[in-house]
Amino acid sequence: MSRNMDPSNLKIAYIGGGSRMWARTLMTDLALEPDLSGRIELYDIDFQAAKTNETLGNWISARPEARSHWQYTAVETLPQALQDADFVIISIQPGPFATMAHEIAVAEKYGMYFPVGDTAGVPGLMRGLRSAITFAGFAQEIAAHCPDAWVINYTNPMTICTRTLTKVVPELKVFGCCHEVFGTQHILAELAQSYLDLPAKPGRDEIRVNVLGINHFTWIDAAHYRRVDLLELLREHIQKPGVLRPYTRQEVEAQNNYFYDARQIKFELFKR
């Protein structure tokens, strides 16, 4: 069924609506977007997690700082969430964490170390196989209940999950999102501020990059701030003593941050 979207009355279906990260980030983003309003139906295999996000989402939407209005509802079935949706957002954990931990441990036993293992190597392969089966089912349900919806996928392995949807139903409108490249833009913005003596760090959108490859295996072959070649600045930067050096496990763990990045691998690969 084809229909025009009404920006003031959108329906968003959220698969993985009990998410503790992406769903809650989306709630804040939508609350601050004045040009969109509507309803979001949260579906999750953990219904209570979706109910928690229902409460949180409606609380955020009712805040005085909110610039739009959204009604959040947890639903018990996937078809109910998808029916006549304008957008479908997918952010799930494919399989339990215990399975993921086992895959990483097996790889480590044979000398292959993965901090996450959601994309590359044997852990990524196994997760990809699990994900493809699940996403094939999602594709069929989306085609049945909201074939004209735009589908936005956040689940990793990004390429396998997103490609599965269009492989099963080629007519679906699908794209994948990840903040991976944003982090690199912030690094380059820091370099620009430092080496160009700027009064403030440039915004991410001011750093122009040309990106190649697939998600979690991206390469940048050109980067500029205005007309300044940032890769030349990076080349200069990594020559400084102490920029490229070994880090001990104790140093990294002392940061007390699972997402801490000492930038050594990306800088070493760039150097080579």
Contact 220, 211 (CB under 8 A): yes
Q: Would you put residue 38 in left (φ > 0), alpha (ψ -120 to 50) or beta?
A: left
Catalytic site residue from 102, 145, 179, 186: 179
Phi then psi dihedrals of residue 171, to 5 deg:
-80, -10
Signed CA dihedral, 12, 13, 15, 21: sign only:
positive
By C-alpha distance, which of 221, 160, 144, 233 is closest to 195? 233
Q: Would you put residue 242 in left (φ > 0), alpha (ψ -120 to 50) or beta?
A: left
Residues in CB range of 26: below 8 A, 6 or more apart: 14, 89
Active site residue 224: no
Annotated catalytic residues are: 179
